[in-house]
Amino acid sequence: HGVMRLAIRARARAGNPDAEVLRDPAVREDPFAHYERLRSSRPLVGGAFSKISVHHAVCTEVLRSPDFGQIGGARAEGLPPVLRTALRLAGPRPSVGPIDPPSMLAVDPPEHARYRRLVSRAFSARAVARLRERTRAIADELLDDLEREAAASGGRVDLVARYASLLPVTVISEVLGVPVSMREQFLAWGDAATPSLDMGLDWRTHRSVERSLGELDAWFRGHLRRLRREPGDDLLSALVTAAAEDEDGLTEQELLSTALLVFGAGFETTVNLIGNGAERLFASPDQRRLLAGDPSLWPNVVDEVLRVESPVQRTGRRALRDTTVAGVPVRRGDMVILVLAAANRDPLVFPDPSVFDVTRANARDHVAFSSGIHFCLGAALARMEGEVALQALFERFRHLAPAGPARRRGTIILRGHASLPVTLGPAA
C-alpha cells in the first residue's frame, strides 16, 4: 500500500490540475477558491486520462450523454498500470460496497434501469409527501431531546451529532424497515465507511473502511434473511418478497447492494445538507429575517443551500467511446471529473454565484443531485427532510447560534460537518 500511496501522489503531481484539493487539507476545508482557478481556464481541463470540469454546461452535458458511463466497477480501468497493479495487490473487497457493482450507482444501462425501477416508486414525490408529517414529528421529538440535553449541559449541544445526523437515519430506517434502535451503530458504520468515496486512502483508513463495510454488510445479510422468513410492511420486505417470487427478481447480491446504497445514501448526505444549511443561516441574519416574515421561502432555502454548499461536491464518468466535449477530444476509457459544487457557482447560470440568497429565482437549476439517468433517487426525500429539519429548528430556536469552532468532515466528495456546536437560546 506504500506503492499505492506513492503512485497516487505521483499522479496527483503529474500535471493534474486538481492535485491541490486532493493534497492540501486547507484546500479540502475550503475548496471554492481552487474551483475558481479551474474556472478561469478552459471548460474541460486536465491530462491524458483524467479531465475535470467546473462548468455547469459541461457537467450537464457529460452527465446526460450516452457516450459516458459510471466509473463503477471499472474504476480501475482508467488508471495507469502502476495504480491498477497496486489496487490488485490490495486484494479483493471482502464485502459488497454500496457504491460498487451491482449497485445502481455503479452500473450503466440496461442493468441500471432494472435496479432503479424496483425502488423508485418508494421515493416518488407522492410517496415522500406521505412521509412529511412523520418526519416533522421526528424533528420535534429530536428537538425536545436537544432542549433537555442543552439544559443539562450548560446550554451547549452538538447540532450534527444530536440532530442533523439523527433525523435522516431515523426516516430512512423507518422507510426501509430496519430497527431505529440501531441508528447510532448505523451512523458509526457509515461514518467509518464514507472515506471510501474519496480516492487515495492511507492504509489505516482503508482498513477501517473495510472493517465497517464488512460489519454493515454482515448485519444487512442477516436482516434480509430474517425478512425472508418474516416479511414486514416495509420497502426491504417488498424487495425480498419480489426477489423470491419473480423470475426476474434481484439476486441476493443485487438485493444487498440495493439495500446498502439506498440506506447509506439516505443518511450520509442529508446530514450535510442540514448542517451546511444551519451554518449558512447562522451567517445570514438578513436571510433569517426574510424567512421569519415569509415561511413560504423554506423550500427555496433548501435548494439554495444545495447550490452554494453542495453536500456531494463531485462525481465522475468514464468515456464509453471516443468523443468530444466542449471541443476537447476525449478518448474511450478517459475519466472526467465533474465538480458539481463548482458548476453550482457558475456565473453564467447564477448571477453573484457565491451569494446565499433564499429568494434566488433559479436556485433549483443546481446539479447538486446530479443529472441524467443517475439523478438522485432520493432528491424529493432529501428536499423534504432538509426543509422540515431546518424550518422546525429555526422556528423553535430563534436565537440559535454557533458556540465554538465547527469541525468539517475530512472528506473530499462529501462536504459537511463532523461537529457543529451551538447554543439554542430560549425556545419560541
Closer to ligand HEM by CB, 8 or 167: give it. Answer: 167
Helix axes 81-89, 2-13, angle to 10 degrees: 150
Contacts of 278 (CB under 8 A, 6+ apart): 159, 164, 390, 393, 400, 420, 422
Contacts of 46 (CB under 8 A, 6+ apart): 16, 17, 18, 52, 337
* 104 is a site residue for ligand HEM (CB under 6 A): yes
What is the separation of C-alpha 389 from the centre of its chain, rounded to a whole number of angstroms? Answer: 17
At residue 420, the 3 state secondary structure works out as coil
* 257 is a site residue for ligand HEM (CB under 6 A): no
- The piece of 4-12, 218-226, 309-317, 391-399 that touches ligand HEM (CB under 6 A) is 309-317
* 335 is a site residue for ligand HEM (CB under 6 A): no
Member of 60, 270, 287, 344 binding ligand HEM (CB under 6 A): 270
We find the least distance from the C-beta atom of residue 316 to ligand HEM, in angstroms, to be: 7
Q: Cell digits for 345?
A: 457557482
Task: Name the residue among 148, 7, 82, 62 with its Cα closest to residue 323.
Answer: 62
Q: Tell me which residue has its CB nearest to ligand HEM.
A: 378
Distance CA 5, CA 358 (A): 43
* 265 is a site residue for ligand HEM (CB under 6 A): yes
Judged by phi (left if over 0) then psi (alpha if -120 to 50, else beta), residue 248 lies in alpha
How many contiguous H segments (helices) and E segments (strands) does the chain have?
19, 12
Alpha carbon distances (Å) from 338 to 177, 300, 368? 34, 24, 11
Closer to ligand HEM by CB, 7 or 189: give it. Answer: 189
Contacts of 204 (CB under 8 A, 6+ apart): none
Q: How far apart are the first and last CA of the chain?
A: 54
* 311 is a site residue for ligand HEM (CB under 6 A): yes
Member of 4, 105, 192, 412 binding ligand HEM (CB under 6 A): 105
Residues 118-157 that bind ligand HEM (CB under 6 A): 123
Closer to ligand HEM by CB, 58 or 273: give it. Answer: 273
Member of 69, 266, 277, 416 binding ligand HEM (CB under 6 A): 266
We find the least distance from the C-beta atom of residue 98 to ligand HEM, in angstroms, to be: 9
Closer to ligand HEM by CB, 4 or 274: give it. Answer: 274
Residue with cell 444487512: 220
* 312 is a site residue for ligand HEM (CB under 6 A): yes
Residues 366-385 that bind ligand HEM (CB under 6 A): 368-370, 374, 376-378, 381-382
We find the least distance from the C-beta atom of residue 55 to ligand HEM, in angstroms, to be: 16
Closer to ligand HEM by CB, 7 or 196: give it. Answer: 196
Closer to ligand HEM by CB, 143 or 377: give it. Answer: 377
* 166 is a site residue for ligand HEM (CB under 6 A): no
* φ, ψ dihedrals at 69, nearest 5°: -130, 175
* φ, ψ dihedrals at 330, nearest 5°: -125, 130
* 101 is a site residue for ligand HEM (CB under 6 A): no
We find the least distance from the C-beta atom of residue 368 to ligand HEM, in angstroms, to be: 5
We find the least distance from the C-beta atom of residue 289 to ligand HEM, in angstroms, to be: 25
* 256 is a site residue for ligand HEM (CB under 6 A): no
Distance CA 102, CA 72 (A): 9
We find the least distance from the C-beta atom of residue 155 to ligand HEM, in angstroms, to be: 29
Size of the site for ligand HEM (CB under 6 A): 23
- The piece of 53-61, 228-236, 242-250, 262-270 that touches ligand HEM (CB under 6 A) is 262-270
Asked whether 187 and 169 are in contact (CB, 8 A), the reply is yes
Contacts of 27 (CB under 8 A, 6+ apart): 20, 21, 33, 34
Task: Name the residue among 196, 194, 135, 195 with its Cα closest to residue 166.
Answer: 135
Member of 95, 269, 276, 287 binding ligand HEM (CB under 6 A): 269
> Which chain residues interact with ligand HEM by CB under 6 A?
104-105, 116, 123, 261-262, 265-266, 269-270, 273, 311-312, 315, 368-370, 374, 376-378, 381-382
